């Protein structure tokens, strides 16, 4: 049996759960500017597949790369780290 290559796993906050079985996850990362040495926060939004519609706004989740589910959806929710209050 073939083993799959390692897939990227990132942690982010859900900013939208309006679509059916889809959530929008905002992933932020801090990088250091090469010249000025100041830390900059960069962020990116990913559409992720949520099979059971378990996630809600403000939840912190882990998402993993996967096969394409649609034109823009290439990630899936693997774990809910913390539910929103």
CB 30 within 8 A of CB 39: yes
In tens, the pLDDT along 67-82 reads 999 999 999 999 999 9
pLDDT above 80: residue 64 = yes
Output the average pLDDT for the chain. 95
Average pLDDT in the 40-67 region? Answer: 97
Q: What is the pTM of this model?
A: 0.87
Q: What is the CATH number of domain 9-82?
A: 2.40.50.140
For the chain, which residues make up each domain, given as ranges?
9-82
pLDDT, average across residues 38-57: 97
């Amino acid at each position: 049996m073939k083993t799959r290559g390692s897939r990227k796993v990132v942690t982010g906050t859900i900013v939208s759960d309006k679509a059916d079985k889809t959530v929008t996850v905002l992933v932020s990362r801090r990088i250091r500017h090469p010249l000025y040495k100041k830390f900059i926060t960069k962020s990116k939004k990913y559409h992720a597949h949520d099979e059971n519609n378990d996630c809600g706004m403000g939840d912190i989740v882990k998402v993993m790369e996967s096969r394409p589910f649609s034109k823009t959806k290439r990630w899936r929710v693997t774990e809910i780290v913390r539910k929103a209050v």
